Amino acid sequence: MSLVKNGSVISKISIVTLMTAVPLLAQQPEMQDVIAAPEQPAAEPTPAPATPEQPTAEPTPAPATPEQPAAEPTPAPATPEQPVAEPAPAPAAPEQPAAEPTPAPAAPEQPTAEPTPAPATPEQPAAEPAPAPAAPEQPVAEPTPAPVAPEQPTEPTPAPAAPEQSSELVNAYRGIVKVEVAKRIPDYGTPWNAGQYGRSNGTAFMVGPGLFMTNAHVVANAERITISPYADSRLLPAKVKHVAHDADLALLEVADTAVFEQVPCLRFSKRMPRLEDTVRAIGYPIGGKRLSVTRGIVSRIDTVPYSHPRNEAHLAVQIDAAINPGNSGGPVLMEDEVVGVAFQGLMEANSTGYMIPLPVVQRFLKDVEDGCYDSYVDLGVIFFPLRNVAMRRHYGLPDGDKGALVGDVILGGTCDGVLQPGDVVLEINGHAVDSSAMINLEGEHVQLEELAERAFSGDELQFTILRDGKKLQPVAKLTPLPAGDIMANAYDALPRYVVYAGMVFQPLQLNVIQAHRLNVTDFMVELDAFQRKGASMKKKDIVVVTKVLRDEVNARFSDFGKRIVKSVNGVEVQGLAHLHSLLYPQPGKEQPQYTVIEFENAGRPMVIDNAAVQAANERISAGYSIPHPARLD
């Protein structure tokens, strides 16, 4: 008797040999599934692979076997159906183990295990259930093809694609452009130099005819700006129309608007996203040239420092969508509407990015409606929470959760003369202030300063306060913070300086502090007086000697570097321009024999012989390639 499969003849002796090999193969891990069907040796050349997967279908074989005994006499017909069983591997295909059956072809090599055929022969009777080979007809249970269900996963895949954006949105994607910038970065270490040239890129999106919104840091210090439309190789020249470095936002303008005539603007949402809302950031980050989309959820809404200006903190939304270099300035969408502008990430954390939310964006757009940007305003007050029961009773407050204490008021600021240290603020413009100095605003629990964040210069705020046990309602007119930019990064301007007798004078400012690695703690008293105690109302700059360029005229004066200038020839210095007028008086004005420069916290003055200054200035200018002795604006 012989069996025929796929054109091959298998004799009963071969079957015996195979049956003998099965116990040996059972010890091999890859054949552990095959042993589960020892009754199907006759069909093992190919069905065996199928049968490992059939264990799941064994419930159906059981009923099948009673029907197959009748089919025993005609195993040959059963074998032709074994090819039919070959679909069974197909169902297995989704599990990819179907590749394992390939060991089955190795079965013919198992005759090498023929040394043990004898023990196998007694097992032949047990093999007589060879009718089980009819089990291969279990593939007749071709419901297994029902695993055509594996195609169902492919059907769902279209489903995700189903949220394909509307044709209007896809068209609006054409308004998301790549911004390429050639820039010159000022050199505050050697301020007379031209600076370093570099390139950067970011993203912008169309908000009006020929107008594109992006981040201020994308276009800061720009010499030349071009934009590339979506799926378009052209580079269109652009220029900055408005920029708000304190909010890290800018508007670009392109002259060639014909390219975007048929492109709709992305719509701004009417509401802020909430925690766990899904958003997606769109832009041109590093790693490719085409538009990129990353998706995430809103994980936090808070006031955070903005890294571009360094001294500003505004409302921001934290998302877990990746914000990479190049994403900056791109829109963040929720339900196909703009809810923010991507602008910075958190280096210490993975997949943590921030977007500028709608209140900040809308404030910027409203501010520039008159053709210029006026910067943020500030209350100029330091508030303290009032949670301690004893403190509340001391200030005449009942137990509860209302009221914040005024700790300090900046001279020359918005609330100078309106609030006093020791006042307890109960309400601002009708918004109750809680004991942690926070208010509820548009459904969000935010710091009370957020009211000023959303207002403009000249707007008024009415306070309800408790002073000496009496309720008062003073009104304050909002103004920018005095000397607020002294600890902010400066952009789009070359550094100011004066060089005199080898001494380099510069105004104390964050860029200067960073370039010369000045220790801020050395200037804390002067900075505090300038920013909070009203000194900025008297003088324009705090002037510092940042370095001394060696020359015989300033010999043994090198230790005067990094000191604040107090006066020149007894006249108090009010700023860099004033210092220049004292060191370089107008022609015809009589000049003393010596110039005496005094410094803050210095034990002695610096004295320069004016007769030697002109020659020294010429030597130093030539030696250090200084084209001009001063730049004042």
Residues 359 and 507 both lie in one domain: no
DSSP-derived secondary structure letter, 485:
G
**404 domain residue, yes or no:** yes
Report how far residue 47's alpha carbon sits from residue 33's, in angstroms, rounded to the nearest whole number: 12
- Domain range for 516: 496-631
Final residue before a domain boundary, out of 375, 398, 428: 375
Residues 405 and 316 both lie in one domain: no
**114 domain residue, yes or no:** yes
Please, are residues 241 and 251 in contact by the beta-carbon 8 Å criterion? yes
Region 476-486: mean pLDDT is 90
Residues 231 and 349 both lie in one domain: yes
Please, are residues 513 and 506 in contact by the beta-carbon 8 Å criterion? no
Residue 227's nearest CA partner among 281, 268, 175 is: 175
**159 domain residue, yes or no:** no
Report how far residue 561's alpha carbon sits from residue 583's, in angstroms, rounded to the nearest whole number: 17
User: How confident is the model at residue 50, as a pLDDT?
Assistant: 41
Cα separations (Å) of 187 from 401, 423, 463, 537?
Answer: 51, 46, 45, 29
Residue 168's nearest CA partner among 261, 233, 262 is: 262
Residues 173 and 259 both lie in one domain: yes
Final residue before a domain boundary, out of 89, 124, 151: 151
pLDDT in tens, 514-543: 999 999 888 989 999 998 888 888 899 999
Orientation of helix 12-26 relative to helix 117-127, angle to 10°: 100
Q: Is 34 helix (H, G, I), strand (E, B) or coil?
A: helix
DSSP assignment of 358-371, as one string?
HHHHHHHHHHGGGS
Residues 199 and 243 both lie in one domain: yes
pLDDT in tens, 239-274: 999 999 999 999 999 988 888 988 889 999 999 999
Residue 618's nearest CA partner among 533, 499, 461 is: 499
Region 423-433: mean pLDDT is 95
CATH classification at residue 464:
2.30.42.10
CATH classification at residue 230:
2.40.10.120
Residues 467 and 521 both lie in one domain: no
DSSP H or E segment with residue 629: none
User: Up-side HSE of residue 58: CA atoms within 13 Å toward CB?
Assistant: 10
Q: How confident is the model at residue 91 (pLDDT cuts 50, 70, 90)?
A: very low
Angle formed at CA 498 by CA 547 and CA 598, multiple of 5 degrees: 65
What's the mean per-residue pLDDT of the chain?
Answer: 78
Q: Name the phi and psi angles at 491, rounded to 5.
A: -140, 165
User: How confident is the model at residue 507, as a pLDDT?
Assistant: 96
User: How confident is the model at residue 38, as a pLDDT?
Assistant: 40
Residues 371 and 388 both lie in one domain: no
Residues 503 and 531 both lie in one domain: yes
CA 48 to chain centre: 55
pLDDT in tens, 536-566: 888 999 999 999 998 989 887 777 778 999 9
Please, are residues 543 and 565 in contact by the beta-carbon 8 Å criterion? yes
How many other C-beta atoms lie within 10 A of the C-beta of residue 162? 8
Report how far residue 341's alpha carbon sits from residue 395's, in angstroms, rounded to the nearest whole number: 43
**615 domain residue, yes or no:** yes
Residues 544 and 559 both lie in one domain: yes
The two three-digit tokens of residue 202, written as one number: 């970011």
Residues 353 and 205 both lie in one domain: yes
CA 475 to chain centre: 39
Contacts 24+ apart (CB under 8 A), 548-551: 548/502, 548/503, 548/504, 549/499, 549/502, 549/503, 549/504, 549/620, 549/623, 549/624, 550/502, 551/501, 551/502, 551/616, 551/619, 551/620
pLDDT, greater one: 346 or 338: 338
Residues 120 and 36 both lie in one domain: yes
Residues 311 and 267 both lie in one domain: yes
**27 domain residue, yes or no:** yes
Beta bridge partners of 337: 334
**483 domain residue, yes or no:** no
**Domains contained in the chain, number:** 4
Question: Which stretches of 303-405 are DSSP H helices?
Answer: 358-367, 389-394
User: How confident is the model at residue 590, as a pLDDT?
Assistant: 81
DSSP-derived secondary structure letter, 43:
G
